[in-house]
Amino acid sequence: MNIILIFSMTKDEMITALEALRAKKSATDDFIEQMEIADEIHNIEMKLNGVKPTDSSIDCIGCGS
């Protein structure tokens, strides 16, 4: 999932995407794919929770928060 898409998602869409990603992660045995999915989950969760990196006075472009 592209980080730009996360910016345009509503809260309900992000929650739906999280559920789908969690199901996809548990369905694969490929470690690399699991880590990529975990990164996507992390990005969405940070956006949902309004989290940004510690000691950051600006929003994080890399994680989308």
In tens, the pLDDT along 9-18 reads 888 999 999 9
Position 59 pLDDT exceeds 80: no
**Whole-number Å distance between alpha carbons of 37 and 4:** 16
Confidence of residue 46 (pLDDT cuts 50, 70, 90): confident
Residue 32 clears pLDDT 70, i.e. is over it: yes
Number of C-beta neighbours around residue 6 at 10 A? 20
Domain locations in the chain as residue ranges:
12-25+34-47
Mean pLDDT across 33-53? 87
Q: Determine the pLDDT at residue 51.
A: 78
State how far the alpha carbon of 54 is from the alpha carbons of 5, 33, 38, 46, 48, in Å: 24, 28, 20, 12, 17
